[in-house]
Every structure is written in structure tokens, then in C-alpha cells.
Amino acid sequence: MIRLREVITALEAWAPPQWADSYDNVGLLWGDPDMPLSGVLTTLDITSAVLEEARSLHANLIVSHHPLWFGEKNRLHWGLPADRLTYLLIQAGISVYAIHTNIDQAPDGVSYVLCKVLDLRPVGFLRTNGGTHGAGYIGEYPQPLEAEAFLRHLQKKLELPAIRYTAGSQPTIRRVGVCGGAGSFLLPEALHAGVDAFLTADIPYHRFFEAEGRIWLADIGHYESERWIAQIFADFLHQKFPFLPVFTTRIRTSPIQHWI
């Protein structure tokens, strides 16, 4: 019988909570560490549909990349969707563990996985923090891609309906910087590293001016750049706990739709 405490120990050896950014809310958000686990559901986000999915799978732990809230919280407000969902999860006996910016910093974390999804050979961090962890990743293609072929490759691999981008000076792309989620703060590091392109999400309008004519800068979507991590969580837990039922959500949790 696997207890919640054992899963917490494994996850925190992989991505220590102290690696998380100061604003973040990682670790066990609620639950009894000595609780026996009937099953685990991994996800990028927690929604009401994910709650129902966990119920149907008899999973009493959700491991989520995004926490349900950031900062301090001293009460739950039924009128706020995240607070109401928190109450319903607790009522259902489902514990929640969040592993967010600490797994972003891991050597085999979100940005490393994004490199692999895009067929890039991972080279190293864009920004190193203390030598053992860092932010973003640099990857390389075996052969340079023409700009249009590169954009089509992104669209196909990430299943993107559209790509917001600004063009760089290079006609081909071989060396690429990536950061899953909102990573435009790493643009200076990408420019310094001499990559041909930098891929991330939630890029503010004026960031594109900083990159224009210097580097290919593409906004590939927050959900689209990170959704792969849920399967990585599941793979990790399968390896550590072969007899524990572990599932990856089948739900597309992003609320964003596109009109093309």
C-alpha cells in the first residue's frame, strides 16, 4: 500500500520545493500525508471536469502543474470558481499536490520536455540557477530549417491553430531557445545565447519589438507549451511506484478557443 507521504518524498527529490519562485504555491496543498492512495491523476490544470475524472477513476490524489491559487489564502469564497472547486475536492476526499515553477527549473522539466516534443536535441539551460537547475532550455536541430518549414513544424507538433511571431534576421533556424509557459523574461538570455529563435507563451506586445529583426520570437500558447508535463508526471510515478494506479487526464483543460 502506497501512502501519500511516499509520493511527496519522490516528487520533492525530483523537483525540490525550494526551487520554486517566491510567488508560487507548490507542494501538498491539502491532504493527510499518511493517507493510503487508491490512485493518482496527473494534469496541467485542475477544473471541475478533472475533479469528476478523478472521481470516476477512484483517484484520491491529483498531481497538478498549476496550483489552484497563488499567495496567501485565509478563507474560501463560494462565489469564486477556484475556491468552490477547492471545497468540492476536499469534500470528495481528493488531495492535491502542485509541482509548478520547481519542475520548470528541473533538468528534465517542462522546457526540456518541450525540446523533445519539438525534436530538438537538448543542450542546456538558458539560465542556470546554482548549477543544478535553471530556467528555459536550448535545443538544436540536426539540420537548419527554413523559416516557413520551422513555423509549420511548430504548428504540427504543438497542434497550434495559429502562431504569434516576429521574424528574426536569420533565414534558417537551427539553435532554439524554449521556455514552457510565460517565459518572455528570458528573452535577454536567448539573445545573449545566440539562438536563432525563442519560443514561449504569454508574450507581451512590446517584447516583440525587442526581438524584431534580431531573433525569431514565437508565442506558442501557455497550455500548448506545457500540456506534455502531465504525462511526464505519470511516467515518473509509474517508474517509482509500479503497482500504484496512475492516470493522465484526457481533458483539454485550457479555456481558450480560437476563431480562425
**Fold entry, domain 4-103:** 3.40.1390
Q: What is the pLDDT of residue 259?
A: 87
The third-level CATH classification (topology) of the domain covering 106-224 is: 3.40.1390
Residue 73 has pLDDT above 90, yes or no: no
- When mean pLDDT is compared across 26-35, 59-68, 126-135, 236-245, the lowest value belongs to 126-135
The C-alpha cell at 186 is 528570458
Which grid coordinates belong to 213? 529583426
pLDDT above 90 for 251:
yes
pLDDT band at 72 (very low <50, low <70, confident <90, very high): confident
Name 55's bridge partners.
none
Residue 260 pLDDT greater than 90, yes or no: no
Cell of 231: 504525462
Whether the per-residue pLDDT at 93 is higher than 90: the answer is yes
The predicted pLDDT at position 131 comes to 82
Segment holding 6, helix H or strand E: helix 4-14
Does 4-103 match 106-224 in CATH topology? yes
Task: Please say whether the beta carbons of 239 and 231 come within 8 A.
Answer: no
pLDDT given at position 71: 85
SS3 assignment, position 67: coil
Question: Which 8-state DSSP code applies to residue 20?
Answer: S
* Nine-digit cell string for 159: 497542434
**Domains in the chain: boundaries:** 4-103, 106-224
